[in-house]
Amino acid sequence: MKDFTSLAPVSRKISDSTVRRLSLYLRFLEEFEHEGVATVSSRQLASQGATTAAQVRKDLSLFGSFGKRGRGYEVADLARKLKAILGLGRRWRVALIGAGRIGSALAEYGDFRERGFDIVAVFDSDPAKVGRRLAGLTVVAERDMERVLADTPVDIAIVAVPVEAAQAVVDRAAAAGVHGFLNFAPTQLHAPEGIALRDVNMSMELEALAYSLSQDADA
C-alpha cells in the first residue's frame, strides 16, 4: 500500500474519462452528504453513475487508498479528497468572452458559481453591448481585454463568440495570461502550447444523437 502523504497528483497520467467520473462521484457524494448518509460503498457510487463498482475503486485507487475494507468510503472525507484532487479546493476566476445569447445565459448560470467558478469579467466586441450590465458585471469592450486582464487576472475563459472570432480570442487571452479555455463556438479550436482547452459542441451532440437514432431505425 502506497503512502500518500499529500493529495498531490500522481505521476501517472489520468485519463479524461477518469476525471469526468471523479467529477460525477463528487456530485453523488454531495447528494449523499446532504441526505445525511455517512458511508457509501463503491457499488452504491457506481449504481448512481452508470458505471461499475470495480471502475469506481480503480478510479479512486489511482490517487490513493481512501476506503476502509469491509466498510466502504466515508462520504464527507471522500468528497473532500475528490475536491482536492480535482482542484476544487479553491475558487476559480473566469472571464466570459462574448455576451450574445449563449454567453448571457452562461453568465447567469448559477451552477458555475455553485461549483466554484466565479465569472469576474465579461467582454464583447459589439459596441451596443459594451457598458450594459450582465450578471452584476459591466460588459467591457473586447478590444480592452488585455488591459482588463492585466488588472483582474483570470484562470479560465469561456469563449462564446462566433466561429470566425473564436481562435483569435483564444490566442489573445492566452497571451494575456489565461491558462484554460472552455469553447462554445461550434468549431474545434487549437490551444497554444501549455494551455488547456475543451470544446463543447452542442450541434455535434445532436449529430451524434441523430446517428444513434438512424441506427436504431434500421435495426
Contact between 51 and DNA (CB under 7 A)?
yes
Residue 98 partner contact from DNA, a second copy, none using kind-dependent CB cut-offs of 5 to 8 Å = none
Contact between 173 and a second copy (CB under 8 A)?
no
Residue 2 partner contact from a second copy, DNA, none using kind-dependent CB cut-offs of 5 to 8 Å = DNA
**Rounded to a whole number, what is the distance in angstroms from the first to the last CA of the chain?**
49
Sketch the per residue contact string, 41 through 60, with a second copy: x for CB under 8 A, - otherwise: -------xxx----------
Quick one: cell of 26? 463528487
**Nearest approach, Cβ of residue 135 and a second copy (Å):** 10
State the Cα–Cα distance between residues 72 and 113, nearest whole angstrom: 31
User: 93 - beta bridge partners?
Assistant: 118
State the Cα–Cα distance between residues 9 and 63, nearest whole angstrom: 7
Largest CA distance in the chain: 63
Residue 69 partner contact from a second copy, DNA, none using kind-dependent CB cut-offs of 5 to 8 Å = DNA
Contact between 20 and a second copy (CB under 8 A)?
yes
Range in contact with DNA (rule: CB under 7 A) among 56-64, 124-132, 138-146, 184-192: 56-64
Range in contact with a second copy (rule: CB under 8 A) among 52-60, 68-76, 126-134, 209-217: 209-217
Across the chain, the runs of DSSP E, i.e. the strands, are: 39-40, 73-74, 92-97, 117-124, 133-134, 137-141, 156-159, 180-183, 196-199
Q: Which amino acid is at 88?
A: L
Contact between 5 and a second copy (CB under 8 A)?
no
Quick one: cell of 143? 478590444
Is 32 within 8 Å of 41 (Cβ atoms)? no
State the Cα–Cα distance between residues 12 and 112, nearest whole angstrom: 29
| Nearer Cβ to a second copy (25/123) | 25
Residue 21: which of 77, 74, 63 has the closest Cα? Answer: 63
Site residues (vs a second copy, CB under 8 A): 8-9, 14, 16, 19-20, 22-24, 27, 48-50, 85-88, 92, 94, 101-102, 104-106, 108-109, 111-112, 114-117, 155-156, 179-182, 186-188, 190, 194, 196, 198, 200, 202-216, 218
